[in-house]
Structure formats: structure tokens, C-alpha cells
Amino acid sequence: MTRTATATLLRADRLFDGLRLVDDPCVLVEDGRIVAVGDAAPPDVEVLDLPGTTLLPGLIDTHVHLAFDASTDPVGALALRDPDAELAAMAEAARAQLAAGVTTVRDLGDRGYSALRLPTDLTVVAAGPPITSVGGHCHYLGGETTDVRAAVREHAERGCTVIKVMASGGGLTPGTDMLAPQFSDEDLRALVDEAHRHGLPVTAHAHAVAAIAQAVAAGVDGIEHATFMEADGIVVPDELVDEIVRRRVVIGATVGVVPVPGMVPPPFLLRHLPAIRAALARLVGAGAVVVAGTDAGIAPVKPHGVLPRGLTELVTAGMTPTDALRAGTRTAAQVVGLGDRKGRVAPGYDADLLAVAGDPTTDPEALLRPVAVVVGGRLHTEVPR
């Protein structure tokens, strides 16, 4: 069979295809799609040999903020940028994601729907400005409202494919309460109902136990952070964990940190960090659907492209290395609505691929050693070894 000049064969020592490990794979890509996966090379194609590596699907971060620059004051930095400068900074953030092998992100909070306008090779699933109460968490991004149904309709009309709602206060917005819900039960149910009427999933930022319980009862599809905060510490009610597991509510675990000398978490977080990690391990152990949503962009310890570190943290939380890889590929693709074309290395899927030195199914830190990134069938970057 004669192949066109756009056909390329990738050869590596191993392949994690989104489900399992395969030895000595050959992956044929053509016109941006995976055509075949096997152990024999067809004739007359360009070959990219990647000895010593494992091929896997491009990684998927389910929670980023491309408009935030991972500085010590990302909110202030964004406020100083005009729209052109904002898009330029977001493009730089996208390049950092791709260099780390992250080929798809779900942006869960921009300003003025900027993620929908961003020209990039990175696949971006965009929520637009997060819907929040008046003066609520991240109100400065433009999503505050007193009419949640109207807000959802606007997001749908703009082209957003997921709705992000701030169900509790958060650390980036002084004056908001992380320990309490921001919306009434009625309003949160109305928001979910309107989103589902438009065919859009809802994921809720929620730290407080009361906000998590409210969001689950309202029928949200996902919870971001899920830190289970109460006034006297971290409290993880058995019945709430059971309900999260029963309803298959997706937990976006806020994992992935790059150590920065002299930087420590805010006092409210530092005090409860061991208990928050234990809560995540409990969710993993209970069988909840858990993916890695790094919150990339919100601080120097959360740079764009931090997802590989986040996946290693899921192993620390109790996942096997293979389960963590699934969480960052196949499961994440399903969560962001792209499960029919992302997150697998199989015929018909987009040719978004990452090659890493070593075997991440036995050594999760192999994800920190990218060798090559392929986006839409084209070599985006090859890292010298």
C-alpha cells in the first residue's frame, strides 16, 4: 500500500496505549490521525525511531488557567494586560504545556472567554469565566451573576463546552469564604439543570464540606479540589464519599507542585495539607473517579506543564502507576468530553503522542523525562538526550 508523504511511523521500546502496556510497538500516523498500531513497519514511510522510550497518548490536564502566568501575583499580572498581551501570555503558557507532553487542557477560568480565541496547537476545552456569585470567588474574571440560568445560556452561546461554577470561596479571592457555599441550593440546582439542558457538563470548585455536599446533591458532574474543609479542620463524611462514588462524580484532584525555594503554601493550606492528602487517598481507595487537575498558572509552584508531577502524586495517593497513567490520558479524555478522539493510541484517534525515557508503568518519574511530543501527527518538539 502506498502511503502519502504525511505518513510517519513511530517506533519505541514500549507503548502505553491508554489502557495497557505493549512491547516493541509501531504506530503509524497519517494526516493527523493514528492509522495503525502493530509490531511491523509498512514500507515507504518516514520512520521516527525512539529507542529507550515509552510512547503514550498526549497527557490531559483537566484543570488549568492559561490566563494566569504562575507568577507570585497572577491576578494582578492579568489585570495589567490588554487583550493582545493576554493572548500572547496564554500562548506562552500553551507552549509550556506542550513542551511537557500535555497536548490537551481543560481551561476552567479565563477572562472574557479568551481561551476560546487562543490560536494554539494545544487542544483547549474552555469554560470561559467561571460562574460565581456577586463579589464571589474569581469575580474579577467577569462571571459574577444573580441569574445563573442566563449565565449558563451566555456561556453556551459563546461556545463553551463545560460550565465551571464557584460553589465555595477560594484562596485567590480575599474576602470570600472557603468554608461556606456561595449559592443557594435552588440556584445551584437551576444552574446544573440549565447546563444539562444545553448538553454541557458542570464542574464545581468546592472546598467546604457543605459546598461539596450541595454540589453533589445538585447533580454536578465534577468537583474541583474537594478538600472537605470545615472550621475545625478536614472532615470527610463517609456518606458523602459513598454518594460521590455512587454518582460517579469526577474528582479533580489539585495535584502537581514544583518546589520553589522560599515558597510555602498559604497558612490555611499548610496547616491542613496532610489531612487533605489523606482525604484524596480515601477517595482513591473508595473507588471514586479521580483525575489530575493541577490548577496550573495560579502560583510559581504551579507552572504550566506541571501535570507529569501531578500524575506521580496520584501514585502517592494510592493509585498504581498504570492507573495514574489512565487518569492522565483515557479517563481524562472522557472527563473533558473528548474520549472518542483523545487519550488513546488506537486507530482513528488523534495523533497526539508523548515519548518519555524509561517506563512510566514502573517508574512514574519517567513522565518528567520527555523525549518527543507529537501533536496532530507532527513532531512538535524533540528533547536532546
**In this predicted model, what pLDDT tens digit does every residue of 84-124 receive, in sequence order?**
999 999 999 999 999 999 999 999 999 999 999 999 999 99
Do 191 and 163 contact (CB within 8 A), yes or no?
Answer: yes
Into how many domains does the chain fold?
2
Band of pLDDT at residue 325, cut at 50, 70 and 90: very high
Same-domain check for residues 156 and 76: yes
Q: Reduced to 3 DSSP states, what percent helix, strand and coil does the chain have, rounded to the nearest 5?
A: 30, 25, 40
Mean pLDDT of the chain: 95
What single-letter DSSP state applies at residue 336?
Answer: T
| Distant-in-sequence, close-in-space partners of 255: CB < 8 Å, separation ≥ 6 | 280, 292, 293, 294, 309, 310, 311, 313, 314, 317
Tell me, yes or no, whether 205 and 292 share the same domain: yes
* Domain stop point among 335, 351, 369: 335
pLDDT, tens digit, 9 for 90 and up, residues 209-246: 999 999 999 999 999 999 999 998 999 999 999 999 99
Q: What is the CATH number of the domain that holds 52?
A: 2.30.40.10
Q: In the prediction, which pLDDT does 44 show?
A: 79
Residues 362 and 233 in one domain: no
pLDDT for the residue numbered 2: 38
Which residues, 6+ apart, have CB-to-CB distance to 232 below 8 Å?
none
**272 SS3 class:** helix
Pairwise CA distance, residues 294 & 307, whole Å: 6
Q: Say if residue 71 is in the same domain as residue 52.
A: no
Would the CA dihedral through 229, 227, 269, 76 be positive or negative?
negative
Task: Kindly state whether residues 52 and 68 are assigned to the same domain.
Answer: no
Grid cell 497536548 is found at 103
- 150 and 196 share a domain? yes
Q: Choose among 236, 136, 226: nearest CA to 187.
A: 136
Task: Let me know if residue 3 belongs to a domain.
Answer: no
Inter-CA distances, 59 with 4, 78, 106, 138, 221, Å? 28, 26, 12, 27, 21
The pLDDT, as a whole number, for residue 382 is 63
Shared domain check, 284 and 176:
yes
- Reported as a single tens digit per residue, the pLDDT across 326-375 is 999 999 999 999 999 999 999 999 999 999 999 999 999 999 999 999 99
pLDDT of residue 3: 42
Q: Which residues of 303-321 are buried (b: 16+ CB within 10 A; e: fewer)?
A: bbbbbbbbbbbbbebebeb
Q: Whole-model pTM?
A: 0.96
pLDDT-derived band at 385 (thresholds 50, 70, 90) equals low
Distance CA(188)–CA(219), nearest Å, equals: 9
Evaluate whether residue 39 is within a structural domain.
yes
Q: For residue 268, is it within any domain?
A: yes
Asked if residue 210 is part of any domain, the answer here is: yes
Q: Does residue 384 or residue 72 have the better pLDDT? A: 72
> In terms of C-beta density within 10 A (0-12 exposed, 13-18 middle, 19 or more buried), how is residue 189 classed?
middle
pLDDT for the residue 381: 75
In a shared domain, residues 238 and 322:
yes
Claim to verify: residue 43 and residue 88 sit in the same structural domain: no
233: its cell numbers: 479542620
Residue at a domain's end among 335, 354, 369: 335
Domain check: are 12 and 146 in the same one? no
In a domain, residue 375? The reply is yes
Flag whether pLDDT at 312 surpasses 80.
Answer: yes
**C-alpha to C-alpha distance for 152 and 129, rounded to whole angstroms:** 11
Amino acid at 31: D
* Residue 2 falls inside a structural domain: no
> 159-177: string of b/e by CB count within 10 Å (b at 16+)?
ebbbbbbbbbbbbbbeebb
Indicate the helix (H) or strand (E) that contains 9. strand 8-16
CATH code of the domain in which 180 resides = 3.20.20.140
CA distance 154 to 261: 43
Do 178 and 67 lie in a common domain?
yes
Indicate the residue among 316, 335, 354 that finishes a domain.
335
Q: Answer yes or no: is 1 within a domain.
A: no
**Residue 87 included in any domain:** yes
Q: In this predicted structure, which of 50-64, 253-267, 305-319 has the lowest mean pLDDT? A: 253-267
Show the domain range for 110. 59-335
Whether residues 121 and 192 share a domain: the answer is yes
Distances (CA, A) of 272 to 56, 174, 229, 234, 319: 35, 19, 9, 7, 22
